[in-house]
């Protein structure tokens, strides 16, 4: 199965189809801002993560390189509905799209 390269404007279409949005960057990069609703599973851990369902998957990284690698791993593992975001979070933010930051528990709640 082939991987679909998608642009930021197409992410919402995939999410409406029930896609999982997975950010394959390292946790420190993810903490610096990520696409709304994205789950962080670093590329090195993706192969050993059993939480992935057979739902459509959209992969994202900083620029698109690691998400392309992740897409290849998932398709080799049998996932057939995989896309990766061209331009990654850099391209996402260059278009003026919002990012989220993880909540920090500072112990004052």
Q: Which of 90, 98, 75, 104 is nearest to 25 (CA)?
A: 90
Torsional sign, CA 102, 37, 8, 4: positive
86 falls within a domain: yes
Residue 20 lies in a domain: yes
| Residues in the chain, total | 109
Q: Is there a domain that residue 61 lies in?
A: yes
62 belongs to a structural domain: yes
Q: What's the structural domain count of the chain? A: 1
In a domain, 54, yes or no: yes
Give the residue from 37, 94, 18 showing the smallest Cα distance to 62.
Answer: 94
> Which pTM does this prediction carry?
0.89
pLDDT in tens, 44-92: 998 777 656 678 999 999 999 999 999 999 988 888 899 999 999 999 9
Provide the CATH number for the domain around residue 69: 3.40.250.10
Catalytic machinery residues: 61
DSSP alpha helices (H): ranges in the chain? 8-16, 27-31, 43-46, 65-76, 88-94
Domain limits for position 43: 4-94
């Amino acid at each position: 199965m082939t991987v679909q390269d998608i642009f930021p404007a197409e992410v919402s279409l995939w999410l409406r189809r029930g896609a999982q949005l997975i950010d394959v960057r390292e946790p420190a990069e993810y903490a610096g801002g990520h696409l709304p609703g994205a789950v962080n599973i670093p590329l090195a851990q993706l192969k050993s993560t059993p939480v992935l369902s057979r739902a459509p998957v959209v992969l994202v990284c900083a620029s698109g390189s690691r998400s392309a690698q992740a897409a290849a791993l998932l398709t080799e593992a049998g996932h057939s509905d995989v896309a990766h975001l061209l331009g990654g979070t850099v391209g996402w933010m260059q278009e003026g799209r919002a990012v989220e930051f993880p909540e920090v528990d500072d112990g004052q709640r």
